[in-house]
Structures are given as C-alpha cells and as structure tokens.
Amino acid sequence: MEISSEILDEKKVVFLDGEIDMSNVESIKKEILAIENKDISLDFSKLSYIDSSGIGMLISLHKTSLVNGGSLEIRNVDSKIKNLFEIVGLNRILNII
C-alpha cells in the first residue's frame, strides 16, 4: 500500500494505492489520523481491494472526524467497491462522491 497526500480545495486528500486488508489496516489508519487537518478526503482511484477490517477502519475514521468537528469523504470509488459499500449500507453513512 502506498499513501500520499496533498491539499486540494482546502481539504487534505489522501491517495490510497493498493489494498486495504487486515495486514495493513492499523498502519493506514495511524497514517491518516496523523494528518493535521480536520477535513479529510480519501481518494480510492487506485484502491484495488478493501476487506471488512478496512470497512471498520472507515467507520472509525468517520466517527473520529465527526468528534473533531471535521468531515470524511471518499472519492473516486471503483464500481466494485462502491457496490460493496451499498450492500453493507456504508453509502448511507459515509460521504461517497
């Protein structure tokens, strides 16, 4: 997994390239939480896979951002991953654009 970030439209955009699974979910979460910006956008354009631990991470990041007065959005989601989000109901909780 490669993680990079940049500021776009006053939001910190985190680009995730690879897979999110049980083997790397904690390190990814720590790296995202270390970003000093309350509004975070995750770019999934190069994300090829996410398992249930990754979904749990997204819910946790969403809750943390709300507590801190910020927001979490997910952009450029692959159709297969978007379908998974719809099946488990994440599209009703998370801001997916």
Q: Tens-of-pLDDT digits for all 97 residues of the chain?
A: 999 999 887 778 999 999 999 999 999 999 999 987 788 899 999 999 999 999 999 999 999 999 999 999 999 999 999 999 999 999 999 999 8
Burial class (CB in 10 A: 0-12, 13-18, 19+), 25: buried
Answer whether 39's CB lies under 8 Å from 10's CB.
Answer: yes
Q: How many domains in the chain?
A: 1
Q: What is the pLDDT of residue 12?
A: 85
Q: What domain range is 53 assigned to?
A: 2-96
- The length of the chain in residues reads 97
The pTM for the full model equals 0.92
- Residue 35, domain CATH: 3.30.750.24
Query: Residue 53 belongs to what H/E stretch?
Result: helix 52-67
